[in-house]
Chains A and B, each alone.
Chain A
Amino acid sequence: MRWIWIDKFVEFEPGKRAVAIKNVSLAEEHIHDHWEAYPIHPACLLIEGMAQTAGILVGQARDFREKVILAKVTRAEFEDVVTPGDQVTFEAAIESIAAEAAATRGTVLCNGQPLGRVDLMFSHIDQNLAGVEFPEENFVFTGQFERLVGPLLEPRNG
């Protein structure tokens, strides 16, 4: 089972903007170690949730052909903690996108209230400037991420 830190996309504007949610639960194993007396959803997983929301937005903009890798956390600031029972919302927007990389801006909400900001940069590693070669098969988009966003990309009927 893969490392997936968002539950569902609720909005998706190809090439522009995406919104995803994550429900934090006491049933998640790691939270009992973080920490037993005071369970908190780790901030690093909030960054990862944004990275997945924004990374899928960036990947879909190129039809999932590129291997989109998180390359830089330009900014990550949180005003408060997230605890079991909270619903986190990740809103990501593409700021720039080029052949080699993309930059995204994002806000994080907790139960609808502003929690923080996460701005990221992604690399399309097959287009890297150093000329390093990677295996042909796309190990980033193997199906799981695409299935998350699939329903929002389908054309509406009627």
Chain B
Amino acid sequence: MPMTEQEVFEKVRETLVDALGVDDEEVTPEATLTGDLGAESIDFLDIVFRLEKAFDIKIPRGELFPDNVLNNPEFVQDGKLTETGLSQLKERMPHADFSEFEKDPDVNKMAELFKVQTIVNYVKGKLG
């Protein structure tokens, strides 16, 4: 039987509590991984490992958390994502909500795209 969104959210929450050492209450759908939950780069890898195990899915490198965007000069100029960069990122992250970010695509604000809901959307997409 396929998992409901609530079931996926609860399992994702458990994963984040284990990986980041935060409390259940802190893990809300809108909570950002780096800003609200204090995740660092190594934590992103830990999260990927745990999600793979918890949901029995394979997460190819760069699919959940895209890499090689910030160091590409075609995608970033003067600290902001270019048109090309933004559309590339949107293509690679159909699981993220860009409505706020695209108003001011500042590179320093990119971390805000990675919310708990982003992960829930990605996992739901993988589970089909």
Interface residues of A (CB under 8 A from B): 71-72, 74, 95-96, 98-101, 103, 121, 123, 128-131
Contact = CB atoms under 8 A, between A and B. Distances in A.
Nearest to A129: B67
A101 B43 CA distance: 11
B61 A96 contact: no
B49 A129 contact: no
Contacts of B90: none
Nearest to B19: A74
Given A96-B52, A129-B45, 10 more contacts: A72-B42, A72-B43, A95-B49, A98-B49, A98-B61, A100-B61, A101-B49, A103-B49, A128-B41, A131-B67
Interface residues of B, number: 15
A157 B53 CA distance: 39
Interface of B: 19, 41-46, 49, 52-53, 61, 65, 67-68, 71
Nearest to A101: B45
Contacts of B71: 131
Interface of A is mostly: strand
Contacts of B68: 131
A101 B61 contact: no
Nearest to A123: B42
A96 B42 contact: no
Contacts of A72: 42-43, 46
B61 A71 contact: no
Nearest to B43: A72
Contacts of B52: 96
B53 A129 contact: no
A129 B41 contact: yes
B45 A121 contact: yes
Given A99-B61, A129-B67, A121 B41 contact: no
A128 B16 CA distance: 22
Contacts of B65: 129
B127 to A, nearest CB: 20
Nearest to B65: A129
Contact of A121 (B42, B53, B61, B67): B42
